[in-house]
A and B are shown apart, each in its own frame.
Chain A
Amino acid sequence: MQDENFSLFDRQVNVPIEDKILKVKDLTRMAKEILEQSFPSVIVEGEISNFKRHMPSGHLYFTLKDDEAQIRVVMWRSDAVRLKFGISDGMKVLVKGRVSLYEPRGDFQLYAANITPAGQGALQLAFEQLKKKLEEEGLFSEEHKKPIPVFPRRIGVVTSLEGAAVRDIISIINRRFPAVELVIYPVKVQGEGAAEEIARAIDDFNRGPIVDVLIVGRGGGSLEDLWAFNEEIVARSIFNSNVPVISAVGHQVDFTIADFVADVRAATPSAAAELVVPDRSEFLEGLQTSIGKMSKAVERATDQLTLELDKLMHHYALRQPVSLVEQKLQFVDDLSRRVQTSAEHFLDSNDQKIKSIHSHLNALSPNGILRRGYAFVESSGEVVTSVMKVEIGQSASIHLHDGILDTQITGKHEQKH
């Protein structure tokens, strides 16, 4: 009876819905239409459970639940690839999407277009996740950090040609230590494809143009602007680089993933430029200090020699063949000339020590000795080194520091040894 009635009603087109006999397919179709029209876009807060990424399709499936209810959620691969962070069970999220019904199973479902972590930004979460992952892999560990050369000759720079970063780097290096070559590899530093370009530039520097050190960075910006420097592909390239890398992402306080992997982190591109080359004035000062130390040491050595020669002159000068003393004096004279030549360019710099050595050596030179009251005798164009070398009546010249006395030998007294 009932069955008959139903079949009877079914054949009638204009009967009200509550009296109509429906096929399952019809009901689900109608419900689906109503759901889609009523909830074309909603944001739902809940906790993720039963999360599955279907392979190879790449679609995401999970249940979104709170204490009292749950709903199935699907996210198609095309939307899922845009997620910056990784989904996992227990995560509190906001799911934005449309509501529909999956007819084969009659499941009421949420089709997610985007998912954001509840309570914090998606990028922030992605950052934390990647940081944790790479840290566990050891990419940040000290043992992998390479030293930065003290005097790099070629410095590679991976950044945009637009923007202040590249100009700051150029002007600071130009001021601090221009004896270098800056090799700039222009890349996109934000937006689609930026991370890939940065990574490729770092890789290229490791197989093509030889540089001693790399600066990788950009000026400051929002977390989104800086995002390329938080991408895994950039972190991997920095880690794999044989050339030491200085990260220079212009954000004073916040760290990027690149900062953690880099051999040295500079807070800004300017700071990287300051760090990568020595300071000109410090460098020159260092040289002056070395010159001062050398001069002082040589001065000490000449002091010593002055004392020794003085002794020699006082005790033995009249007994020793003059030529021997002269030889020593000649030697000192020669040293003095050499010191003066070496120091010539520095005398202007008012280096008292160099002047002092020079005067010490001068005091030891033959002229200096003569000034102190010694004399030498010359006859027939030769220095008279022994009383045996001259005859009575022979003329001779006595050399003093300021001139020559002409004389004649009137007698000889040989000294007994």
Chain B
Amino acid sequence: MSKNTKTKEAVSFEVSLKRLEEIVDTLEAGNAPLDESIKLYEEGMTLAKSCMMQLNEAKLKLKKIQRATGGAIEENDLEL
């Protein structure tokens, strides 16, 4: 379960940056009306902020894979 959430977050840096790039391109093209531009600007700022926060608050997680006696693959937290 937690794996799926993780994978979603994984996409989010990539997706956020991609969207941010789109916004920058649109704004730089200068064709959007001002209120639209401000809307994009707000969205871009929110994305940038959330990326920064995600990275600044992130803590490296360590996991360890083991084969159980039955051969099943187990994943546990790893303490070093």
How distant is A156 from chain B, measured CB to nearest CB, in Å?
8
A374 interface residue (CB < 8 Å to B): no
Binds B, one of A95-103, A238-246, A286-294: A286-294
- By beta carbon, the residue of chain A nearest B10 is A153
Q: Mark A166-181, 1 if CB is under 8 A from B, else 0.
A: 0100100110011111
A150 interface residue (CB < 8 Å to B): yes
**Given A182-B63, A305-B34, CB of A152 within 8 Å of CB of B24:** no
Q: Are A343 and B45 in contact (CB under 8 A)?
A: yes
Contacts of B73 in A (CB 8 A): 204, 208-209
Which 10 pairs from chain A and chain B are nearest by CB?
Answer: A153-B10, A179-B58, A297-B27, A342-B45, A208-B73, A151-B13, A178-B60, A185-B65, A181-B61, A183-B63
How distant is B73 from chain A, measured CB to nearest CB, in Å?
4
Binds B, one of A48-56, A228-236, A331-339: A331-339
Chief secondary structure at chain A's binding surface? helix
A390 interface residue (CB < 8 Å to B): no
19 further A-B contacts with Cβ under 8 Å, apart from A154-B10, A182-B60, A185-B64, are A150-B14, A170-B80, A173-B60, A174-B60, A178-B58, A179-B58, A182-B63, A185-B65, A286-B17, A290-B20, A291-B48, A298-B41, A301-B27, A305-B34, A331-B35, A335-B34, A342-B42, A345-B49, A346-B49
**Given A291-B44, A291-B48, A335-B34, CB of A178 within 8 Å of CB of B59:** yes
Contacts of B7 in A (CB 8 A): 153-154, 210, 212
How distant is B40 from chain A, measured CB to nearest CB, in Å?
8
A39 interface residue (CB < 8 Å to B): no
Partner of A184, one of B42, B65, B67: B65
Q: Are A301 and B55 in contact (CB under 8 A)?
A: no
A201 interface residue (CB < 8 Å to B): yes
Q: Are A342 and B46 in contact (CB under 8 A)?
A: yes
Contacts of B40 in A (CB 8 A): 294
Q: Are A293 and B28 in contact (CB under 8 A)?
A: yes
Contacts of A146 in B (CB 8 A): none
Q: Are A338 and B38 in contact (CB under 8 A)?
A: yes
Partner of A290, one of B48, B54, B60, B75: B48
- By beta carbon, the residue of chain B nearest A346 is B45
Question: Which chain A residues have a beta carbon within 8 Å of chain B's beta carbons?
Answer: 149-154, 156, 167, 170, 173-174, 177-186, 201, 204-205, 208-210, 212, 280, 283-284, 286-287, 290-291, 293-295, 297-298, 300-302, 304-305, 331, 335, 338-339, 341-343, 345-346
Partner of B62, one of A149, A184, A185, A342: A184
Q: Are B38 and A339 in contact (CB under 8 A)?
A: yes
Q: Are B30 and A297 in contact (CB under 8 A)?
A: yes
- By beta carbon, the residue of chain A nearest B27 is A297
- By beta carbon, the residue of chain A nearest B51 is A287
Question: Which chain B residues have a beta carbon within 8 Å of chain A's beta carbons?
Answer: 3, 6-7, 9-10, 13-14, 17, 20-21, 23-24, 27-28, 30, 32, 34-35, 37-38, 40-42, 44-46, 48-49, 51-52, 54-55, 58-67, 73, 75, 78, 80
> A209 to B78, alpha carbons, bound, how many Å?
15
> A173 to B61, alpha carbons, bound, how many Å?
11
Contacts of A302 in B (CB 8 A): 34
> A185 to B75, alpha carbons, bound, how many Å?
9
Contacts of A182 in B (CB 8 A): 60-63
Identify which of A185, A208, A290 gathers the most chain B CB atoms within 10 Å of its CB.
A290
> A304 to B55, alpha carbons, bound, how many Å?
36
How distant is A270 from chain B, measured CB to nearest CB, in Å?
16
Q: Are A186 and B64 in contact (CB under 8 A)?
A: yes
Q: Are B9 and A183 in contact (CB under 8 A)?
A: no
Contacts of A341 in B (CB 8 A): 42
> A304 to B21, alpha carbons, bound, how many Å?
23
How distant is B79 from chain A, measured CB to nearest CB, in Å?
11
Q: Are A210 and B3 in contact (CB under 8 A)?
A: yes
Q: Are B21 and A290 in contact (CB under 8 A)?
A: yes
Q: Are B30 and A179 in contact (CB under 8 A)?
A: no
> A30 to B67, alpha carbons, bound, how many Å?
58
Partner of B65, one of A209, A287, A290: A209
> A297 to B23, alpha carbons, bound, how many Å?
10
> A305 to B32, alpha carbons, bound, how many Å?
13
> A294 to B42, alpha carbons, bound, how many Å?
10
> A284 to B66, alpha carbons, bound, how many Å?
36
> A342 to B54, alpha carbons, bound, how many Å?
17
- By beta carbon, the residue of chain B nearest A295 is B41
> A341 to B49, alpha carbons, bound, how many Å?
12
Contacts of B35 in A (CB 8 A): 331, 335
